[in-house]
Amino acid sequence: MTELESFAVALSHEAARVALPFFRGDFAQEDKGGPGAFDPVTEADRAAEAAIRRLIAARYPDHGVIGEEYGEDRPDADHVWVLDPIDGTRAFIAGLPLWTTLIALRQEGAPVIGAVGQPYLDEVFLGGPSGARLLKGGCETPLKTRACPDLGQALIATTDPEIFVGADRAAWDRLRASARLARLGCDGYAYAMVAAGRIDLVAESELKVWDWSAHKPLVEAAGGRFTDWRGAAPHDADGRVLAAGDARLTDQALPLLAVA
């Protein structure tokens, strides 16, 4: 691993150290959502991001940070860490081990390193310049997406179809009708399974930059393709992303996901 890849893993382990004791325990939580919307945040989210930020400030004080809980600090720096301390807070609250810690490093505005950690399972999925690997129990296992040339044979995923709004929901329904099987409720863990060759495609919308930045280098380092719903590189202003283990699936999915 490169120095910065190793540091991303260290950040993931620090987040795990802080967040894991809260899991399936008693913790404070509040609702950030507006009327009719539930958007939970817990003391574990905030404590984990604070811990990550402390390590970054100590090791790389000139690096910027963009985090879900504490906002932006030097977002125009040459190196910017993008943090989601607990992606899948609803799963965390429900005691389901599908939440993840998402840590990405951006250079020149593009994510180049991504670490997706699941502390309860002792897993860190890492993607970057040195490749893609799973770190678990002191062992490293290379990751590779699987071949799936036909969308009709694909296992696809999204977090919750109810999150899709308007034309995006119709686009998901078209995609779902064309695939073999869909799994729901996996949050960021679904992208790790794309990199591991277990899931073939993930489509989501309404994402923030911290929701997808770690997944792009992970999926691409494992041999997959990561785009927006137009086939271009995702960007901060558009929350629609498409992760495919086999690039041929991207070409089949994009026409189904076309929205005005």
66 is in an annotated binding site: no
- Please answer whether residues 132 and 125 qualify as being in contact, where contact means their C-beta atoms are separated by less than 8 angstroms: yes
87 is in an annotated binding site: yes
The token pair at 74 is 């030097």
Amino acid making up residue 161 = P
86 is in an annotated binding site: yes
Nearest to 131 by CA among 140, 145, 143: 143
73 is in an annotated binding site: no
Q: How far is CA 210 from the centre of its chain?
A: 8
93 is in an annotated binding site: no
Radius of gyration of the chain (CA): 17
* Phi-psi label, residue 114: left if phi above 0, alpha if psi -120 to 50, beta otherwise: beta
Q: What distance in Å separates the CA atoms of residue 128 and residue 134, rounded to the nearest whole number? A: 12
Binding-site residue positions for Mg(2+):
68, 84, 86-87, 211
